[in-house]
Structure 1
Amino acid sequence: MGSIQRSAALLLFVLAGLCVGQRIVLVQEGRLYRARGYHITIWCNVSGYQGPSEQNFHWSIYLPSAPEREVQIISTMDPSFTYAIYTQRVRSREIYVEKVQGDSALLHIKELQDQDAGEYECHTPNTDERFFGSYSAKMNLSVIPDTLSATMTPQTLTLVEGDPLELTCEVSKSTAQHTHLSVAWYHLQGSGDAQATVILSLSKDFVLTPGPSYMQRFLSDVRLDKVGDTTYKLSIGKVQPSDQGQVYCEAVEWIQDPGGSWKDITQKQTEKTLLTVGSQDRDFQANIAAVESSLAEGKPLQVNCSVTAQNSQNRWFQVVWLFKGVEVARIDPHGVLALKKEYEERAALGQLQVVKKSNEMYILKVYQVGLKDKGTYSCEVSEMEKASAGFSIIQSKMSSGIEVNMKPIENHMQVSVLSSERQIVEGDTLILHCEVSGATSPLSVNWWHLQKSGDQPDHIVGMERDGMLRPGPSYQERSANRDLRLEKINSTTFTLAIYNTSATSDGGSYKCEVTEWSMDRSWKQTQETSVAISPLKSKLRVNTEDRSLEISGSADTEIECSVTSLTQRDSQLAITWYFLPPSPADAAPLQIVRTNYSNILDYGAEFRSAMQKSKFHSERVSSNLFWLRILSVNHGDRGRYYCLVEEWLWSADRGWYNLGKKESGKTMLEFKVSENKLHVEKTNHSITATENEDVTLSCLLQGPSQPASLFSAIWFHGLEHSGMKTLVKVHTSGMVEYAEEAMVERLHLRRPSFGDFNLTLRSVEPGDTGVYCCQVQEWQQDSGGAWVLRASELSGYTTLTALPPESTISSRVCSSPSLLHFILVYPLVLFLGLTAALLYLSVKSRQAHKESIYQRKGKELWVDLKGAGDVEPTYSDHNNLEEEMNNLKEE
């Protein structure tokens, strides 16, 4: 705290000095790094003087070889001030002082030398009646080598208008200090002393900026790229007559001074390249040709439109395709394709493509021609030029027409259906093969089922030409359960497999329908076969009767799942228990626990905490009877429960397979309110909290209670219109049990008074929004000394809404210039506030240490009262503990 006091006192002293007119000399902040052979300026200002406004300046240097010896350089008032070693440079004005105004001056050194490195002092002679303040200030200057290099091979180039141009500039440096580079390309029209204009520049901050004359051509035609570590490439896509002249590159090295500003310290220019730009011949020709003009239906057609022109790679062309004299496709100068509706649809299906292969070659390709593609093809080529509103046409040329002839194709497809077995047993797999011969085009397949003559055929599944499977409406569920499969074994064989067949629904006639597709035409063939399925003696049954249970709080209960019949005597059963919350009515069932046919347990996502696993147990009471045992029922367990039974069999060729599954009836579990009443606060509350804020929820026991009673409490959380789930439970012994381990750090359950079960939710999150309530339970000892539940009651509901975080105090302070100004101008107020805060933290630390000792001693007293047995402390024990704790507080 002493250092803070000293700093505050020093700041107050400086501010006080300014108020009474103390003289202060300031020099440019150092250390400065400047390159040998370049100009440097160092500023010096004086303020707070009482004399005339015209002040004088003496400049001296302390060399590294003799840091204690002053070497005088130049003065604004005394010509004899200069030492001999600087006399010649001062006389020749290589070193001079520039008066910016009466109390401000600049020291200039035109060409830095190595011996100019050292500590510079600016001294201002006193003009006041008394000496008060500072009269000199110092800064350091280091002279570093000039390592910047910029080179470009000089050339003399003669190009034609529209030709591309690329020039490279090699820029490098090896300065030890951290520096940045800027690179710019310049254009000089004519020769001699003409003013150079910027083409493109890359700043030290990597900002690319075009010169005024090249703004319109920036990016589209003129680019500057850094290639590798040292190479900067200027690219002009199409040279223009205005580009004629001399082109060169300039590099500048920048360093950041201590004050934060950037200063150029070295600069280099390359030799110049002389550029001459001539005009071009703009005539061109359009030609059309087909790879094959007479071909069979379904074969590919390619028609080429070519452009013959001088310097075509640097000119803009638009190509329009015509079929029978009507436009069908257009490629603009940027290569953007526009198709008429019919051709656009064919292109989307992958049947047609129009591409620009180069500026000289444009291709129309139809992958499988049809009879409608027969006719005359031609193309129109237009040369374009850029205008302010896009492109405009300079001239157009039409090619001759080419006639394309087509031969229709014939279909020879044949279909046959084969079954692995003509008769199968219920539950076995039905396998059917559909074999196709004579097809040359893509195929699609559909399977149909006709159970008996006269019925409407039922669509089983189809496979599109792209291999996409589409099950029929009646077979959606079987497909989702993987009881249905359609595979393409090879290019001509399609196999249908139906698993877990049913004698009542899967027998009958099966038809394979194959369609061969060729462009806009298709050919269809069908074949069918009959299948007989022998029944098994019909099957798994489960008790589907709905039940209702009303359970008192903290009692145990069992939900029954009864299997009344099985398909096979040696089949194995898998049991899955589900829970349906009381609301909403369409709530999705939650899996509690599943026991598979190998008796392996798997708890659902909502029931995997240690508390839930210890509460819910799946038991097999007999070969056909299963229980879901629920221990210590509470308010959060209200809802409907049911089981899903699956029957599994083992087969040597198939492994374990599912014979079927059945749902039981639903058991409604209600929480019975005890006849003995507890007085728990029933008022409903609403709380709005900001994210990351702590929130305390109240659960208050009101009115008198029996002296020998002990109390436990359970907190629940749920969304509005949905079921409640357990959060945390505090037992009569004070032990706290959490439903989720992840919530241990965020939930704090405490009892500030005997009948208060407060729950503090730390660092509120969006997922905490919802409804909260607590269930209080009263326990008393019976005649045998066992603790039994006497009464149970629910509190009122608290609705919590979590809002996004607001801006912090620090962000508001930093964004307020007036508040920052207040803190800087009045440091004494800040100092006094900091001192008070430190004293407050010291007192709080001592109080926290005392509270820690108090809590530890309280726990030790509790353990002594409870002892090693399982019997809960009596009411008198609680009174003794409270008296001992009060004594600790007084200590």
Structure 2
Amino acid sequence: GCIDPEYASVNTEIQTGPLYRAEGSRLSISCNVSGFKSEETPKIFDFRVTKPSRPNELNIISSGDKDFSYSIYLDRVRDGDISVKYVDPNSAIFEIESLLKDDGGEYDCTVRDTEHGYHGTYNAKIVVYVIDNSLSVSSSDPTSLSYDEGDALTLTCQASSNTIQHTHLSVAWYLRKDGEDAARPIISLDRFFTLIPGPGFEQRYVEGAVRLDKLGEATYILKMAQLELSDQGQIFCGAEEWIQDPDRTAQDSDPLSVKISSTGLMQDVPPTITQRDRLRLVCNVGGFKGQLSVTWKRKLTAKQIALFNIIVSLSQGGVMETAADFTSRNVRVMRPTDDSFVLELDDVIPSDSGVYRCTVTEWEPSGKSHSREQSANVTVIPIGKTPNILFILQALSSEPSISQIINSDVHINCRVTSKPSQSSQYAVTWLHQHDAANKTILSSDRKAVETLGSQTEQSFRQRVIMKRTNGPTFELTIRQARISDRGSYFCEVVEWLQDPRGDWYPLPGKSVITKLTVIEPGKIDNHLTVGNNLLFSFYVSYFSANDLTGNEVELECIMTSGAPAFFYKVIWFYAPPSFLSMNASLVELDQTGLLVYPENQALQSLQGRLRLSRPSQKNFYLKIQTAHETDSGTYWCQVEQYQLDNEGQWKQKASESSGPVTLAVNVAGMLHVLTAVSVGPLFSFFAFLARKNQDFKTKALQL
């Protein structure tokens, strides 16, 4: 029934404590009341504190009495440092903007009885501890730095805390551009150790050009591989300390001024070049003192997520090295003058279109190096076509991210979603980016001839395959995924068309990325449970035969585990009647599917009549053909859980055994009784062998 409002009990609640707050941080305490007759009338909340050094309560602030505060709090109330605000008529929040060390104590929220019923609880208390703000953030780098566009930037930040409470730190690097008040994050490491790129820096983070590395307990290093003019401004490091309940205190380092000058390394190049012409790019550099080396790289488009691929390089000693993909091409790099490097590529084709990057490195006698680089866009126009009718592969799609359990198979699909022409053929290349390295896994030319990447490890080659389906769709399959397989996978597709003369020419390619996360063994459920629960069961069933000697006994071991990517080994054990300690293994089926009968002279007859099978993932059957009286005894199964490690070696993760089952084979004249009784607490099994040519009946009773 309903409660009469006149007899309702007032109840006052405050948030759960104790609370730990750092000196100088904000304190918020919520207080709620229920049970008053009028829910719409604002209640009067009084807040007091009792300090460890003073037994008497001190009035701090009231929501309905301006003269409530004691003199020691009056100035802070007037200045707004201490306040109380209504959330609704029955809830209020007490706040101190900047805690003092002396603010620690037991806080009391009391609701005044304006209805004069005084029935219930009108106050609630919470303990607040004010701890020292030991968070410190500093940087040893110079306060003013100057760089050229394309230079690499490395800044170091020290962030630490000496509090005795259980805390976590989050650290971020910020950029405040010249003329702007607000700073924006470049990259941050949150309290859960997750790296998060700031707005506008996501692409450079994926390419590995922006990084945040943690060294030791307190050092956080910002690395920007190729500075851009937009990076100019004040860069500083900020840290937040998160306390258990949780709360946070914040601290920033002093800002560092960073100035970036344009390098202008690359000479102007024509935006387009015709197929079969020669591409010539010139890279100029000045102000150097040491020896110079140059590397020319290329990627499909400026928006492509994958890293640049090397075309050719020239060492400081004048040795030229050509990448494998260009060994059959007429490509060369020259140094006509001390301050210029020239890349020439003959007989260009449409697939040579893309972004070209020149990286010049200066080598000092001490071994240190400094690099500067610049990029240029190049478009190759197919013969007989003009820029306004240039065909490109319009649409390519794949799943942006996949999470897979270790040792399971990974399937990554790359789909061409644009409509192909009648003559369209496709070449596809799969690349794997892990730890900033970009390796070709395999490639398939327009005739579907596949080539494995030369840098791919042999163990990985044996586990990877690709197939094409209609659409077209290109599926990359990685068998038995390992931790080292995680990272970003790039599918690069080039469409080939046939001109009226029958010649084939490629169009500029497209690429998509799929991020693969392989869940580690410690993060999946590898618990294998047997015995006194219903995850692991043990059954016995019986079958009739045409004559007495053809009777069979079948034992079934059912296993259930929450980890589908594991492999299992089953061992069946036998012990003679009344001698459980004299057990021996009858037969084993290991995790690779190998069937083994351990040598045992006393069990040879029984082993010769055993048949072991595994019709499903969780079912293991042991069949005894032509049961003998000497087969009587105790049987049980043991299941072991295995997993491949990063080196491809089997590691046992868990092992459990079923409860024993006692099997009695009795022969008495024309009536033969076959009985099996489980000694475990889950099931008892009774089976009766009737006369010849009659079916056997099996009955299982759950206790």
- Which protein shows a greater Rg? 1
More strand by share: 2
As a proportion of its length, which structure holds more helix? 1
Q: TM-score, length-normalised on structure 2?
A: 0.48
Higher relative contact order (CA 8 A, sep 6+): 2
